């Protein structure tokens, strides 16, 4: 680690540019080889520089979750954005979306006739995709009911382009292939339910980072992975991203050896508090695979060292892998970009906090 | 809710100024009645306006966790700040602390001889308190060993003022009185271990929001609660703060009725992902006590409605109580201040992201 990195106050987020590029290139090639459009979810990085690199590597557009995220990336020059969310469009959001639609091709998610009518009232003729629940049980309609929502949307004058789902239940051990099969089945059923009404779905969109390796390219036309750019401890533990492909870590300092543990200054305000029941801790150390963040407070990560090797001295800097990288990035203002251990750039997390 | 609030895009954090004032006044009176110095932990609100109100209500200084938080509040005029954290002080942090010490009275936490030497190297003669582990098992030394750390600190020329602990294991059902007793026992043992070496502890500091009602004012001289200003779903469920004393909520919009649930736009990027095993969900609704946030993604809070009453319509705005208010506040740039349902001010979360 060079002096600039050693002097910068911890905790901060470090991105290995070489690993990032490998990840971007590999996913772009994966999609291209299967005839799928890659539309990465920008919620993971929230960073115009990374969006630009994704587009340059062959992405066909971006996915976002909020109007504020869409504004950030359209401002940065992205011309095709899908808001994969059942937005409730009121007068204010409607005005912002109309302004955006003059500068970029927008597609919105809907999962109800009421939602469709609200979109149509403020954004006449908007492109929409109907959201389908493929088993994650969050938002989206049952696949059989997709036609009903599409029909209501068509009757309000919306341009129904197809269907989408988020197979989020792929974030669980051993579930990836099964969930990809459920995703394909749900999307095929939904697409058929539109076809029956004479609405030909041009877009059949799915794909999460854990499930994308098993995606059914016979059904889907588009994938929307997000986490693949950086990886995180969840993906490491699921076996969907190997540790050598983890591009983002939180650089942290050892501040205490209380009770024979390593206590780091990367708490939940730096790496996020996500801890699904199947994970082995609140995060991991990239260079010490046996170690686990076993307890997390706002500014303390208590690490079980799990090794006969001596504890790193107080003041040592270690690379922490957050459990859920999307929430870790949303806590930071900047990403510190390194190549070969040297700081080469600092990129803004331009859409941090862009929740509205 | 008035039109300004109705028009503001959700999700955002709402603070009821009347409830906030009740909370500030009550804790100040509680401390005063027991002869305890109140030194609130500012990590909860990160807001100069609230710090000023705490000081005006009778606080004797502030507690913070990081140098950056200390800088924020000294900039805002606070003159007495305790960094309740085993800081690792290097040259850069040392320079920042020296600059701060010219403008305010600083006290630092230490929990090791190495940490003490690092403080002394950069901030000669600094005031310190020795951190003791009273059962939370995070940082801090065993109470019996406090004297050893104090002795090492004195030998480096530091001004050892006493001992402190964070009884964080009080964040569990039914544990509050037991933990307050453990806190008092640990602090008394630690204070005695200093006295034996001829170091008379002037400060014996503890107190968390859950345990403070059982605090032993015969042992402690100072309490450092943080969450009491706002309350949250954890405190509601522990029974340590009643729902009518919850001052902060996240205003959120119903965006979907998927599967008969209420889906809100207040995801983990708005309310935080904290979910200890003993909580009943990822958050609650202030005006619907039976409802639970049963599933949380970055921009979706899936609410089990748990009532025969009809679901609120799409577009309805509801007040969500985060599980852990400190992490929710750290996700926001602003707090929207209301009285009687009318927006009266917007305060900055000036120390948001101040992790270093």
Residue spans of the domains in chain A: they are 3-13+234-348, 17-229
On the question of pLDDT at B1 being above 70, the answer is: no
Q: Does A326 sit within 8 Å of B331, measured CB to CB?
A: no
Q: What is the pTM of this model?
A: 0.97
CA dihedral A71, A354, A88, B296 (to 10 degrees): 140
What are the chain A neighbours of B259 within 8 Å (beta carbons)? Answer: 133, 137
Tens of pLDDT along A70-111? 999 999 999 999 999 999 999 999 999 999 999 999 999 999
Tens of pLDDT along B111-126? 999 999 999 999 999 9
Q: Name the helix (H) or strand (E) containing A38.
A: strand A37-38
Q: CA A318, A321, A324: angle at the middle one, nearest 5?
A: 155
Q: Does A111 sit within 8 Å of B258, measured CB to CB?
A: yes
Tens of pLDDT along A121-151? 999 999 999 999 999 999 999 999 999 999 9
**In chain B, pLDDT over 90 holds for what percent of residues?**
97
**Residue A268: closest CA among chain B residues belongs to which residue?**
B327
Distance from CA of B11 to the nearest CA of A (A): 6
Which three-class secondary structure string do you get for chain B? CCHHHHHCCCCEEEEEHHHHHHHHHHHHHHHHHCCCEECCECCCCCCHHHHHHHHHCCCCCEEECCHHHHHHHHHCCCCEEEECCCCCCCHHHHHHHHHHHCCCEEEEEECCHHHHHHHHHHCCCCEEEEEECCCCCCCCECHHHHHHHHHHHHHCCCEEEEEEECCHHHCCCCCHHHHHHHHHHHHHHHHHHHHCCCCCCCEEEECCCCCHHHCCCCCCCEECCCHHHCCCHHHHHHCCCCHHHCCEEEEEEEEECHHHCEEECCCHHHHCCCCCCCCCCCEEECCEEEEEEEEECCCCEEEECCCCCCCCCCCCEEEEEECCHHHHHCCCCEEEEEECCEEEEEEECCCCCCCC
Buried b (16+ CB within 10 A) or exposed e, B307-337: eeeeebebeebbbbbbbbbbbbbbbbeebbb
Distance from CA of A4 to the nearest CA of B (A): 12
Q: What is the CATH number of domain B3-13+234-348?
A: 2.40.37.20
Beta pairing class for A248-256 and A317-322: antiparallel
Substitution target in A3, A111, A138 with the highest count of B β-carbons within 10 Å is A138
Q: Model confidence at B10, in pLDDT bands (50, 70, 90)?
A: very high
What are the chain B neighbours of A168 within 8 Å (beta carbons)? Answer: 297
On the question of pLDDT at B290 being above 90, the answer is: yes
Distance from CA of A33 to the nearest CA of B (A): 30
On the question of pLDDT at B3 being above 90, the answer is: no
Tens of pLDDT along B20-39? 999 999 999 999 999 999 99
Q: Does B85 sit within 8 Å of A255, measured CB to CB?
A: yes
**In chain B, pLDDT over 70 holds for what percent of residues?**
100
Please tell us whether the domain made up of A17-229 is placed in CATH 3.20.20.10.
yes
Q: Does B353 sit within 8 Å of A269, measured CB to CB?
A: yes
- How far CA B264 is from CA of A168, A276, B299, B310, B336, in Å, comes to 17, 21, 8, 16, 19
Q: Does B115 sit within 8 Å of A256, measured CB to CB?
A: yes
Level-2 CATH architecture, domain B18-230: Alpha-Beta Barrel (3.20)
Q: Model confidence at B5, in pLDDT bands (50, 70, 90)?
A: confident
Is residue B100 within 8 Å of residue B70, measured between CB atoms?
yes
CA separation for the pair A267, A245 (Å, rounded) = 23
Q: Does B168 sit within 8 Å of A88, measured CB to CB?
A: no
Q: What is the pLDDT of residue B254?
A: 98
Query: What is the torsional sign of CA B184, B186, B190, B193?
Result: positive
Tens of pLDDT along B222-244? 999 999 999 999 999 999 999 99
What are the chain A neighbours of B267 within 8 Å (beta carbons)? Answer: 355
Distance from CA of A41 to the nearest CA of B (A): 12
Q: Does A9 sit within 8 Å of B92, measured CB to CB?
A: yes
What are the chain A neighbours of B140 within 8 Å (beta carbons)? Answer: 256, 258
CA separation for the pair B41, B173 (Å, rounded) = 22
Q: Which residues pair with B206 in a beta bridge?
A: B223
Q: Does B353 sit within 8 Å of A112, measured CB to CB?
A: no
Q: Name the helix (H) or strand (E) containing A128.
A: strand A127-132
Q: Does A7 sit within 8 Å of B92, measured CB to CB?
A: yes
Q: Does A256 sit within 8 Å of B139, measured CB to CB?
A: yes
Distance from CA of A169 to the nearest CA of B (A): 11
Distance from CA of B301 to the nearest CA of A (A): 8
Q: What is the pLDDT of residue A3?
A: 76
**In chain A, pLDDT over 70 holds for what percent of residues?**
100
Q: Does A138 sit within 8 Å of B302, measured CB to CB?
A: yes
Q: Is A34 helix (H, G, I), strand (E, B) or coil?
A: coil
């Amino acid at each position: 680690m060079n002096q600039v990195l050693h002097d910068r106050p911890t905790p901060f987020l470090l991105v290995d540019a070489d690993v990032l590029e490998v990840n971007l290139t590999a996913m772009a090639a994966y999609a291209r080889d299967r005839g799928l459009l890659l539309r990465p979810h920008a919620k993971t990085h929230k960073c115009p520089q990374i969006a630009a690199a994704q587009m340059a590597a062959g992405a066909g557009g971006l996915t976002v979750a909020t109007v504020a995220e869409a504004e950030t990336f359209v401002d940065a020059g992205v011309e095709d954005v899908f808001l994969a969310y059942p937005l409730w469009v009121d007068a204010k959001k409607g005005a912002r979306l109309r302004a955006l639609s003059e500068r970029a091709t927008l597609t919105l998610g809907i999962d109800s006739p009421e939602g469709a009518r609200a979109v149509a009232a403020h954004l006449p003729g908007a492109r929409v995709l109907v959201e389908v629940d493929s088993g994650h049980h969050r938002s989206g309609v049952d696949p059989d009911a997709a036609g009903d929502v599409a029909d209501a949307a068509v009757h309000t004058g919306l341009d129904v382009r197809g269907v989408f789902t988020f197979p989020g239940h792929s974030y669980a051990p051993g579930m990836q292939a099964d969930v990809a099969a459920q995703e394909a089945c749900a999307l095929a059923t939904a697409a058929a339910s539109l076809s029956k009404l004479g609405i030909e779905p041009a877009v059949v969109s799915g794909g999460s980072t854990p499930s994308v390796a098993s995606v059914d390219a016979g059904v889907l036309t588009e994938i929307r992975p997000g986490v693949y750019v950086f990886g995180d401890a969840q993906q490491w533990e699921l076996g969907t991203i190997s540790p050598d492909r983890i591009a983002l870590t939180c650089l942290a300092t050892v501040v205490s050896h209380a009770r024979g543990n390593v206590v780091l200054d990367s708490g939940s305000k730096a790496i996020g508090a996500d801890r699904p029941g199947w994970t082995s801790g609140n995060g991991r150390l990239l260079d010490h695979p046996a170690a686990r963040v076993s307890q997390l407070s706002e500014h303390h990560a208590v690490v079980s060292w799990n090794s006969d090797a001596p504890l790193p001295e107080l003041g040592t800097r270690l690379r922490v892998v957050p459990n859920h990288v999307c929430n870790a990035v949303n806590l930071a203002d900047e990403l510190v970009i390194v190549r070969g251990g040297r700081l080469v750039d600092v990129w803004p997390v331009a859409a941090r906090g862009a929740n509205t």
